[in-house]
């Protein structure tokens, strides 16, 4: 397509996404369905442009008023994800001059909000939590996330899959902490790679893999993934159980569970039982009370740990939404705890960076449930032979898993573990 047509399409996609009535990836998917003439390269350019605008929205909105033309076009120019010479061939002389002037502004001369590109409701608690580490975190959230794969231990070995990918032209290295993970260089298309189509690998962030590892589900057990979603952790747990026992995948969204089915088919697992529930007090849950050996609660959360992948979340969320989520998180955790038998393990997890959704929920649960004894995560990671367990943890004696994009090159994750005593 002509450069001007590509830039116009970028501007239109930015305009649609900045309404914030749907997730950005859903907006992009809908846009591509209605613009079928766009090829893979054009789609990649549009997607990269949109995500650059969402990541640096405050900075680009600061520069935009000094330019001319529609606002969305100015934002698309600033975030354009294609080659620079391609972009310049689509610009007017006035736009070229404006863009060059914007690029001469030193980042250090900008206001803090134009540097970190976070809404104040999020920037303030992160500053309080991290101190001088706030800026490395903020910088890390302005870039894309790496592509991690989990090797299906039921049917493949990591070293062999690594060599198979290399033969297919895909460079990958073992993840530093997860024993199941490979970190891929670049952004290769995996849909036609044999290791992917036959279920030897699944796309899954290393941090998410560690959550499944912490559950430590074993052969023949009764296990529940309480908020399974599309089932990434469910598949990892099922493989760690060696396809034995019974693994329930609960979720309130039947649509999300439907997307698990093709992945389940590739995985070779037959011990997984997806169940759509109405809410955390559903009768189907009550019938299983006291029967589970292990329960994972990857609770609904703000998703602030995934801002490299979903930068629109910081503009679609607010403090009121986080407050409401915190109440839901505690209720879900308490309901899920009823499933455990004495001696059973409970893991609470989020992909949030915020103390309000993490340590505060764990503390409230412990105060209300004295029968559940906290288990230090660092101790468990060491027992599971995960490298550098203390560096992955926070709290007294490594009480919690705390993964940060700028420290660990994973999404932001939190986890706490309890064992039921009676």
Catalytic residues: 351
What is the C-alpha to C-alpha distance for residues 98 and 90, in angstroms, rounded to an integer? 14
Ordered alpha helix ranges (H), 141-245 = 158-167, 194-197, 206-215, 232-240
Asked if 247 and 273 count as a contact pair (C-beta separation under 8 A), the reply is: yes
Say whether 174 sits in a helix, a strand or coil: strand
Element (H, E) at 98: helix 93-103
Query: How buried is residue 15: exposed, middle or buried, by Cβ count under 10 Å (0-12/13-18/19+)?
Result: middle
Ordered alpha helix ranges (H), 18-81 = 24-34, 40-55, 57-63, 71-79
What is the C-alpha to C-alpha distance for residues 166 and 173, in angstroms, rounded to an integer? 10
What is the C-alpha to C-alpha distance for residues 331 and 340, in angstroms, rounded to an integer? 16
Q: CA angle at residue 275 from 270 to 279, to 5 degrees?
A: 155
Asked if 355 and 129 count as a contact pair (C-beta separation under 8 A), the reply is: yes
Query: How buried is residue 96: exposed, middle or buried, by Cβ count under 10 Å (0-12/13-18/19+)?
Result: middle
What is the C-alpha to C-alpha distance for residues 369 and 179, in angstroms, rounded to an integer? 33
| Structure token digits, residue 45 | 């350019």
Sheet with 147-151, edge to edge strand ranges: 172-174, 181-184, 147-151, 201-203
Q: CA angle at residue 59 from 144 to 62, to 5 degrees?
A: 160
What is the C-alpha to C-alpha distance for residues 7 and 91, in angstroms, rounded to an integer? 9
User: Is the torsion defined by CA of 228, 229, 232, 235 positive or negative?
Assistant: positive
**Nearest to residue 73, comparing CAs of 55, 97, 99?**
99
Measured from the Cβ of residue 222, the count of other Cβ atoms closer than 10 Å reads 19
């Amino acid at each position: 397509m002509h450069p001007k047509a590509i830039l116009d399409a970028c501007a239109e996609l930015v305009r649609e996404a900045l309404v914030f009535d749907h997730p950005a990836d859903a907006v992009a998917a809908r846009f591509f369905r209605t613009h079928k003439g766009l090829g893979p390269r054009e789609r990649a350019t549009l997607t990269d442009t949109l995500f650059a605008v969402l990541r640096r929205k405050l900075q680009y909105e600061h520069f935009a008023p000094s330019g001319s033309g529609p606002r969305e076009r100015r934002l698309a120019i600033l975030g354009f994800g294609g080659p620079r010479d391609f972009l310049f061939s689509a610009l007017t002389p006035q736009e070229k001059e404006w863009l060059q002037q914007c690029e001469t502004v030193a980042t250090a001369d900008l206001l803090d909000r134009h540097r970190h590109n976070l809404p104040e409701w999020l920037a303030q608690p992160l500053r309080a939590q991290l101190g001088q580490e706030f800026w490395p975190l903020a910088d890390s959230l302005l870039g894309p996330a790496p592509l991690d794969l989990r090797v299906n231990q039921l049917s493949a070995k990591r070293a062999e899959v690594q060599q198979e990918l290399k033969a297919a032209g895909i460079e990958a290295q073992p993840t530093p902490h997860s024993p199941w993970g490979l970190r891929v260089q670049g952004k290769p298309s995996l849909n036609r790679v044999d290791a992917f189509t036959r279920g030897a690998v699944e796309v899954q962030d290393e941090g998410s893999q560690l959550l499944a590892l912490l559950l430590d589900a074993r052969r023949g057990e009764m296990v529940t993934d309480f908020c399974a979603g599309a089932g990434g952790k469910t598949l990892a747990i099922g493989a760690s159980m060696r396809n034995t026992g019974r693994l329930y995948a609960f979720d309130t969204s039947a649509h999300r569970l439907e997307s698990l089915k093709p992945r389940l088919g590739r995985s070779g697992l037959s011990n997984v039982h997806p169940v759509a529930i109405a809410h955390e007090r559903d009768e189907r849950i009550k019938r299983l009370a006291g029967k589970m050996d292990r329960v994972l609660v990857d609770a609904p959360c703000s998703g602030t740990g995934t801002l490299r992948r979903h930068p629109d979340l910081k503009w679609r969320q607010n403090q009121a939404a986080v407050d409401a989520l915190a109440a839901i998180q505690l209720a879900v955790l308490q309901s899920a705890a009823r499933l455990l038998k004495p001696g059973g393990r409970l893991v609470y997890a989020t992909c949030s960076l915020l103390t309000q959704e993490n340590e505060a929920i764990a503390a409230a649960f412990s105060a209300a449930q004295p029968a559940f004894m906290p288990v230090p995560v660092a101790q468990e990671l060491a027992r599971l032979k995960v490298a550098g367990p203390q560096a992955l943890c926070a709290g007294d004696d490594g009480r919690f898993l705390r993964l940060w994009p700028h420290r660990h090159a994973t999404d932001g994750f939190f986890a706490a573990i309890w064992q039921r005593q009676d």
